[in-house]
Amino acid sequence: MTVVLARVDSRLVHGQVLEAWVPLLRAEVLLVADRELVSDPLQQMLVQGYARSSLDVRLVSPGEARDQLAGSLACRRVLLLFPGVAQALEAHRAGVAFDRLNLGNVHPRDASRPVTRSVYLTDDDRAALAELVARGVAVEARAIPADRSPSEAVLCGTGDGSK
């Protein structure tokens, strides 16, 4: 599999991703998949501004992500980024294959509740995560690799936090 990590991160490309996850996973490509962001030239410029000579950074729609992962990126190590849980589910439904989803930073929004210090989920987020789990995707919440994740039951809203 070319996707070494699929991650939800409201901040997208930033220090935790570039300094902790990319080196650990030896990622060669950061692929940001979101239908709305791809149509925003400012967002494209900002995201691609983080590219390093050894790191390819791309902003694509879920369909383009699926096609690139099956084509030009098939033999490369890809860290797949989503701005939110809904976008991760949309991509998975569109055929973007990943078997694990990391929740790194999901900013507080109306009706969201904290799950960790950096992850706040709404009921819609929890329902989307439950669907991803039902589709065979393992879900974790870790901002950095050393963090400990709550259980899937807690993340999906079906448990009390005990392991």
In a domain, residue 162? The reply is no
Residues 6+ apart with CB under 8 A from 35: 61, 62, 87, 90
Q: By residue range, what is the domain housing residue 89? A: 3-156
Please indicate, yes or no, if residue 81 is contained in any of the structural domains: yes
CA angle 81–104–102, rounded 5-degree value = 65
CATH at 148: 3.40.35.10
161 falls within a domain: no
The helix-helix angle for 85-93 and 123-134 (nearest 10°) equals: 30
Identify whether 114 is part of a domain: yes
User: Does residue 32 lie in a domain region?
Assistant: yes
- Count how many domains the chain has: 1
Q: Residue 142: which of 127, 157, 152, 131 has the closest Cα?
A: 152
In contact, 113 and 85? CB cutoff 8 Å: no
| pLDDT 10s digits, 66-83 | 999 999 999 999 999 999
Q: Is residue 52 part of a domain?
A: yes
Provide the whole-model pTM.
0.90
Strands (E) across the chain are located at: 3-9, 29-33, 56-60, 78-82, 100-105, 113-114, 120-121, 138-141
pLDDT 10s digits, 27-78: 999 999 998 888 888 878 877 776 666 789 999 999 999 999 999 999 999 9
Tens of pLDDT, residue by residue over 101-137, are: 999 999 999 999 999 999 999 999 999 999 999 999 9
The 10 Å Cβ neighbour count of residue 133 is: 17
Supply φ then ψ for residue 65, to 5 degrees.
-60, -50
Would residue 67 count as lying in a domain? yes
Q: Is residue 43 part of a domain?
A: yes
